[in-house]
Amino acid sequence: MRFYLKKMFICGVFVFSIMPLQASVATEPQLASSDSDKNSDKKSLQQRAMNQKLSFEQRIVAIKQLYPEQWGDSTQVKRRICIWDIAGRSGPIFSLAQDQKAELSQMGVQVEMEAYTSESILTEDLKAGRCDAALMTGLKARTFNKFSGTIDSVGALPSTKHFKVLLKALMDSRLAPKFENDHYIVLGVAPAGAAYIFVNDRKINSLTKAAGKRIAVLDYDQTQAKMVLKLGATPIPSSLVGAPNKFNNGAVDVLPAPLVAYGFMELYRGMEPDGGIIDYPFSQASMQMIGLKDKFPREVAQIIRESFFKGFDHVIKQLKVQTGDIPSRWWIPIPDQEKQDYEVLMQQARIELREADYYDGVMLRIQRKVRCKLDATRFECPNPVE
């Protein structure tokens, strides 16, 4: 999964002449020294571009010197960025994405943004090169980068505070290789709100009581279906748009979804009259921008990720506005003892999914350190298994 920047190849022209052999040999150390100097200059520029202590302007100058053909002053950089938003160009995600458009323009990038209402079509266009980058859900991003896709792992981030501490740690430039693979590079991670369990019957207030019920799972994710089957429930494959509709129409009994979907997707319709929301977030959902690696060098991607992080608090405020006030009658309280049981069950699920190569072990370890940093009394901290 690690990605290394393309090395500069210096073509040597071998001139055969009648010059003495000694003269040819004498010139070789000079050529080697020249090669060494160029490699040293490149490494120095790379370090400057990744140095977070330098100003934005200083880092951009280094990037332009590193990639004069792609990002030089005389080059007009154009990139097409595709945005997934159920509501299209009028939706909240597309609107928030305009902030990143402004940031990229400061880097000299002319951005064309296109809204997609189908996440499947968006990702196919990214793979086909019709998009230079695409903003999608963290769950979908896992198919492009397992490390960043594990951010949405079940139970890994109990709160927004945990999410912010995690993202701050991930801004360390030494982790940059983890955000890359052979074809794609992660350009940014943004919060999408806490995810909860919506049910059409308040009696479904525990995992054991989910047995025999119909649970919505993503149609492109077979692992979710397998986990639901282990609960004794029936997985109902659905798209991101179709799942809320199935819940509202009574085709599924249980729907995992970000809290912001309550009003936006009118989930109160599916909860009428005896349903509710289990008052315990099972994950922190994310939106992630995935780019083509040949369009966004490592140093550029690092700066864009940092820009995403700077906008964290603004996005959280917008999510609260979009979520609005949820009537108290919908909340289904969970006893503290059951919450502890959930913690253990979710840890077991993460470990199982790590062993199945679904979750990234390094990300799980970083998340565990974040949880223990904010609460050292957690059961998992004395003897960590993640």
Residue 67: C-alpha distances to residues 18, 39, 314 (Å): 39, 14, 32
Q: What is the pLDDT of residue 36?
A: 67
Residue 216 corresponds to which tokens in the numbers above? 């919505």
Q: What is the pLDDT of residue 33?
A: 53
DSSP secondary structure, 153-221, as one string = -TTS--SHHHHHHHHHHHT-GGGGGGGB-SSEEEEEEEEEEEEEEEESSTT--SSGGGTT-EEEEETT-
Q: What is the pLDDT of residue 181?
A: 96
pLDDT band at 380 (very low <50, low <70, confident <90, very high): very high
- Return d(Cα 306, Cα 187) in angstroms, integer: 9
- Return d(Cα 304, Cα 301) in angstroms, integer: 5
Cα angle, residue 341 at apex, residues 286 and 347 outer, rounded to 5°: 45
Its CATH class, for the domain covering 56-192+286-320, is alpha beta
Burial environment of residue 12 by CB neighbours within 10 A (0 to 12, 13 to 18, 19 or more): exposed
- Return d(Cα 283, Cα 265) in angstroms, integer: 19
Q: What is the pLDDT of residue 223?
A: 84
For the chain, what's the residue count? 386
pLDDT band at 107 (very low <50, low <70, confident <90, very high): confident
Closest CA to 308 of 116, 100, 101, 129: 100
**Distance, CA of 250 to chain centre:** 31
Instruction: Write 6-14 long-range contacts (CB < 8 A, 24+).
Output: 8/38, 8/39, 8/42, 10/35, 10/38
Q: What angle in degrees, to the nearest 10, is found between the helix axes of 56-66 and 298-310?
A: 160
Q: What is the 8-class DSSP label of residue 325?
A: P
Average pLDDT (338-346) is: 89
Does residue 327 have a pLDDT over 50?
Answer: yes
Q: What is the pLDDT of residue 335?
A: 86
pLDDT band at 256 (very low <50, low <70, confident <90, very high): very high
Average pLDDT (175-197) is: 96
More confident: 174 or 73: 174
Does residue 2 have a pLDDT over 50?
Answer: no
- Return d(Cα 37, Cα 229) in angstroms, integer: 60
Q: What is the pLDDT of residue 27?
A: 42
Does residue 147 have a pLDDT over 60?
Answer: yes
Amino acid occupying residue 53: K
Backbone angles phi, psi at 255, to 5 degrees: -135, 115
Backbone angles phi, psi at 287, to 5 degrees: -115, 140
Average pLDDT, the chain: 88
Q: Is 246 helix (H, G, I), strand (E, B) or coil?
A: helix
Q: Which tens digit of pLDDT belongs to each residue from 258-316?
A: 999 999 899 999 999 999 999 999 999 999 999 999 999 999 999 999 999 999 999 99
Q: Say if residues 276 and 254 touch (Cβ distance below 8 Å).
A: no
- Return d(Cα 12, Cα 41) in angstroms, integer: 19
Identical fold, 56-192+286-320 and 195-283+326-374 = yes
More confident: 70 or 204: 204
Q: What is the pLDDT of residue 226?
A: 86
Distant-in-sequence, close-in-space partners of 330: CB < 8 Å, separation ≥ 6: 268, 271, 275, 276, 277
* pTM: predicted TM-score of the whole model, two decimal places: 0.87
Fold classified for 195-283+326-374: D-Maltodextrin-Binding Protein; domain 2 (3.40.190)
Instruction: Mark 267-302 as b/e (b = at least 16 C-beta within 10 Å).
Output: bbebbeeebbbbebbbbbbbbbbbbbbebbbbbbbb
Backbone angles phi, psi at 299, to 5 degrees: -65, -40
Q: Which tens digit of pLDDT belongs to each residue from 9-63?
A: 333 333 233 333 333 334 444 445 566 666 779 999 999 999 999 999 999 999 9
Residue 292 corresponds to which tokens in the numbers above? 């083509």
Q: What is the pLDDT of residue 34?
A: 62
- Return d(Cα 292, Cα 180) in angstroms, integer: 10
Q: What is the pLDDT of residue 227?
A: 87
Q: What is the 8-class DSSP label of residue 98?
A: H
Q: What is the pLDDT of residue 1?
A: 38
